[in-house]
Amino acid sequence: MDVDTDTPSLRWEDVHGPARAVMYELLGSQDTVLARTLHDEGWKGQPLKPLGLTSPQFKGAPKKNGVYTTSSDGSVWFGSPVPEIAATLVASLASRTEIVWGSARLKVRGFNIDIGSEASDGLVELSTATPVVVKKESRYLLPGESHYLERLQHNLAHKADVLGLPAPQGLRVLEAGPRRRFTVRGAPRIGAQVRVAMEADARFVEALRSWGLGLDTVQGFGWIR
């Protein structure tokens, strides 16, 4: 979704903080039962929510230390690997002229459905547009730290199980961005953008592109470019 805003910057707590509420409001406007079931129970008896989105991304935003600046060329991406959920999202997004994102109002300039390029089985590289969140118990992990790959692989295997697809193998981190910290509902989320490689089933690669890597994808983390 292409967006514009007259707000020159977003508050840091509004970068990822409103994402979850925005997603469920969009779903609930078309299907209250689906939105409530996903929120309360997850999908098909699993607590994972097969939903993904980004924080608002702004091309050409002026660089300013410590400020999340905006521009007139913004976008927000939404997705789900489950056709029923994706169709509900499309119906909701197609009817919108504005999205309230925290204290900002995002005016909708355009809306496109991105089917993506066809994947093939085997080795694939994926890069994220937003930080990937990985945890072991209560501690956030960053690329290169002990247990990071293990926990990210576990998350991928869990997602594959929810979708009834084979889990990927041979996960490697090829590149990692700097540590990023955001506040979501008063609590921190810590992660980094990554470029990873893995051996994966083409169907699972397609699913990940509309779901994301790691935890808290419904808060806008881990979205794949």
Distances in Å between the Cα of 196 and the Cα atoms of 63, 137, 141, 199 are 27, 23, 16, 11
Annotated domain spans of the chain: 2-110, 122-219
- Asked if the 2-110 domain carries CATH number 3.90.1150.10, the reply is no
Helix (H/G/I), strand (E/B), else coil: 8: coil
**Spatial CB neighbours of 8, under 8 Å, sequence gap ≥ 6:** 69, 70
pLDDT score, position 19: 97
- Read off the pLDDT of residues 103-124 as tens digits, 9 standing for 90 and up: 999 999 998 888 765 667 899 9
- Read off the pLDDT of residues 192-224 as tens digits, 9 standing for 90 and up: 999 999 999 999 999 999 999 999 999 999 999
Query: In percent, how much of the chain has pLDDT > 90?
Result: 90
- Read off the pLDDT of residues 145-204 as tens digits, 9 standing for 90 and up: 999 999 999 999 999 999 999 999 999 999 999 999 999 988 999 999 999 999 999 999
* Sheet containing 169-176, strands listed edge to edge, beginning at the edge strand earlier in sequence: 122-127, 194-200, 169-176
Q: What band does 39 get if pLDDT is binned at 50, 70 and 90? A: very high
Q: Match domain 122-219 to its CATH number in 3.30.70.1900, 3.90.1150.10, 3.10.20.30, 1.10.10.10.
A: 3.30.70.1900
Q: Do 2-110 and 122-219 agree at the fold level?
A: yes
pLDDT score, position 118: 67
